[in-house]
Chains A and B, each alone.
Chain A
Amino acid sequence: MTETMTHPSLKADIAPAAATRPMIEIRNVDKVFGNFRALDTLNASIREGEFFSLLGPSGCGKTTLLRMIGGFDEPTSGEILIGGQDMAGKPPNLRPTNMVFQSYAIFPHLNVSENIAYGLKRLKLGRSEEEKRVKEALAQVELSNLGPRMGNQLSGGQRQRVALARALVMRPKVLLLDEPLSALDKNLREQMQVELRHLQRQIGITFVLVTHDQYEALSMSDRIAVMFSGQIAQIAEPKEIYQNPATRKVADFLGGMNFLTASELAVDGRQFRATLPGIGAITGHLSGKEITDPASAIIGIRPERLRIVWEGETADHIVTARVVDRNYYGEMTSLMVAIDGQAEEISVVETNDFGADDIPVGSVIRITYDRDAFIIMQG
C-alpha cells in the first residue's frame, strides 16, 4: 500500500479512490429480542479496505450488529450485503468474514499452530501450503516461536495475537473485531492499537471494530459509527466526530464538552448565529451535518478550545469567569469556572506551562476562545 508512505494530510485525497464500492451494506436492519428493540432501522455502508469502528456504550447494539455481519445472529428485518451479496440465512461458515472474539475463543486442546491451521484444514490446501500459511500468519503477529505452545498456556496478549492470526490466515474479505483489546492492560492495549492499524493498512482488507473506548476508535479508524440505544447517531471520520459531533450525546461520549446557554439561536443555510449570555454573539458552520430541529439545538465548545488570558496578554474575545474547582492531571489542569448568565459551569483545560495549576479556587480569571470553536448540535 502506498498509504503508509504518504503524508497523513494527503490521505483524504487517496482514500476515496481506493474505497469506491461498498464492502458491507446495512439496509434498514432491525433486531428485536422479545419486546426489546436492540437495533432500530440501521443504515450504513462500509467501504472496501476501510477501518470502520462501531463505537458506543455497552448495550447500544454494536456487538449485535457485528454478530449479524458475521452471521451469528439474523436481523429481524432488513438486509445485510457483503461484497454485493445478500447474506440472509447464511451461517458464519459460508460468509467471507472472520471474527476475532472478545474472549478470543482460542481452542484450548490445540496448540498455537493447530489453532491457526484450524480453518485451513477444510480448504484441503495440501500440507506444505498449509504449513507455509501458518508460518506466515505466525510471523505476521510476531509469534513465530510459539507454534507448539498449547492454547490454554498463553497470556492475554498472546491469545489476542493467535485469535488475529487464526482469522487473518483465512484471508477474509472482512475482519470483524469484537472489543479485541478490552482485556489487555493499558500499555499492551496501546501497542496493539498501533499494530492493528499497521496490519490493516498493510493487508488492505476491511476491518470492522466494535469498541466502547472513544480513544481507541479515534486513533484507529478511517470512519466511526457512534451508536446509542440501537440507533446510529453519526457516521463520520474521527476528526469530524470529535470536532463536530452531530448530537449532544455523541459530543458527551467523545470526551468533555461544555454545553452553553443561548438566549438566541438561528440556523441560516450552512451557518448558525447565537447570543450566549456572559460570552457574547458568536457564529459558526454546520459543516457536514443537518440540524433538523433548530428549536432543540444546542451550542457547545470543547474545554481545550478555551484558553486562559494571562496578565499582560490581550485577546479579541474576553470573558470574565470565576474559578469554582480545580483538578490537577499532571501535564495539564482542568478548571471549572462559572460565567454570569451561563446555567452550567464550564470546563477549561490548560497545560501547566504557565501555572494553570496554581490558580486558586475562587479567583476571577479572563478566558478567551477561538472564533470557529463553537459547535451546534442536535439536543
Chain B
Amino acid sequence: MPTSAPTMPAARAGSRTPGSRWLQTEAGKGWVTISPPLIYALLLLIGPIIVIVANSFWSQDYLTIDRSFTLENYKAALTEPIYRDLLFRSLFVSVTVAFVTVILAYPVAWFVSFRGGRYKGLWLFIITVPFWSGYLLRILSWKVILGYKGVLNETLLYLGVIAEPLSSLIYNVNAAIITLAHSWAAFAILPLFVSLEKLDRSLLEAAADLGDGPVRRFLRITLPLTAPGIIAALMIVMIPTVGDYVTPKLVGGKDGVMIANAIQVQFGKASNWPLGAALAVSTMVIVTMVAGAIVLLIAGLKRLVK
C-alpha cells in the first residue's frame, strides 16, 4: 500500500492510506463482509471448473497428461455417435423429468399454499419426510417397487390385471424418469410453493370479479404470475438430473445409461481425464443453452396470456 507524507500523530486519522480508506466505504465494507464465502466459492466452485476446462484441452498420453493444446477431445465428444446418443438421451431424460416433476409438484404446492391454512408448516414438513432417508435408499426402494418380483408386479398379479410379471417396468429410461422425478419432487415443490405464496390473492378476486371462473383465473393469473417459480423448479430439477449417474446405473439398465455414466467411466476405469473433461464441458454448455431456451419459451408463453 502506498503511504503518503511523513505521519504526524495528530494527522493520523486524516491521512489514511487509500487502501484503508477504501475499506471504510460502503463498497469496501461489502467486499470485506462477503469475502469469506467468496473465497470459499472461488476455491471450491470456480477452481474445479478451471481445472476441468484446462484438462479438456490437454490429452492423455498413456500414464501422463500431455499439456499441449488440442481440440481432439471435443471432436470426440461431439462427433462420436456413442457420446452424442448419450448426451441426447440425458437431455431428453432431464427435460422430461423436470417437466414431469413440476407438473406433479405444482398441485401439491398449490394445495399447501391455498388450502394449507394454519398447517402450511406441517404440510411442508410432511413433504420433506421421505427425504430424510438417503438418496440410494430411495432409489433402491423404487427397485423394490418396480422390480420383476416387486410390489407393483405382485399387486397387479394379485388383482388379476396381468398374467405374468411385467419386465418392462424397470431397467429402462422410463424407470429412470420415474425414480428421478420422485427424487427431485421436494426441490420442485419448494420454489413453486414460494411463488404461490407471493401471489397476491386479491388479484384472483379481481379476476373473479371481472368474470373469470376458477380455470380461467388459474390460466390467466396464477400460472403467469408463478412463472418465475416454475422456471426455478424446472432448472433445479433439470440441471442436476443431467449429471446424475447413480439412478441410471441402478434402475436404468443398459437403455438408461446417461452421459454422466460415460463421464464417470472416463474419470474412473478408462482413466482418460481430458476426454471426460471435454464431455463434461460440452454437457455443461449444452445444458446451459437448453435451460436458456426453456426460460425464453416460458417467458414467451407468459406474454401470450392476456
Contacts and interface: CB of A to CB of B under 8 A. Distances in A.
Interface of A: 70-72, 91-93, 97-99, 101, 103, 105, 107-110, 114, 117-119, 121-123, 166-167, 170
Given A108-B225, A122-B211, A122-B212, A114 B306 contact: yes
Contact of B202 (A92, A103, A117, A121): A103
B164 interface: no
Contacts of A103: 200, 202
B216 interface: yes
B213 interface: yes
B225 A109 contact: yes
Interface string B195-230: 000001011011111111100100011001100000
B202 A122 contact: no
A121 B208 contact: no
Contacts of B302: 109
B225 A92 contact: no
A105 B305 CA distance: 18
B202 A101 contact: yes
Q: How many residues of B sit at the interface, in one of the four size bands?
A: 20 to 34
Interface in B137-167: none
Listed from nearest, the 10 A-B pairs whose CB atoms lie closest are: A119-B210, A105-B206, A105-B202, A92-B208, A92-B209, A93-B211, A99-B209, A122-B211, A119-B211, A103-B202
B200 A93 contact: no
Contacts of A167: 209-210
Nearest to B225: A109
Contact of B200 (A92, A105, A110): A105
Contact of B212 (A72, A93, A101, A114): A93
Nearest to A163: B206
B306 A122 contact: no
29 contacts: A91-B208, A92-B205, A93-B208, A98-B209, A99-B209, A101-B205, A101-B206, A103-B200, A105-B200, A105-B202, A105-B203, A105-B205, A105-B206, A107-B221, A108-B225, A109-B224, A109-B225, A110-B306, A118-B207, A118-B210, A118-B220, A118-B306, A119-B209, A119-B211, A122-B210, A122-B216, A166-B206, A167-B209, A167-B210
Q: Which of A101, A114, A166 has the most CB of B within 10 A?
A: A101
B209 A117 contact: no
A101 B206 CA distance: 8
A282 B302 CA distance: 72
Contacts of A105: 200, 202-203, 205-206
Contacts of B220: 118
Contact of B206 (A99, A114, A122): A99
A228 to B, nearest CB: 26
Contacts of B225: 108-109
B91 to A, nearest CB: 30
A93 B224 contact: no
A134 to B, nearest CB: 12
Contact of A107 (B203, B209, B211): B203
Most chain A beta carbons < 10 A, residue from B200, B225, B302: B200
Contacts of B213: 91, 93
B205 A117 contact: no
Contacts of A97: 209
Contacts of A71: 208
A98 B210 CA distance: 7
Given A72-B208, A105-B203, A108-B203, 5 more contacts: A91-B208, A93-B209, A105-B205, A105-B206, A119-B211
Contacts of B207: 107, 118
B210 A166 contact: yes
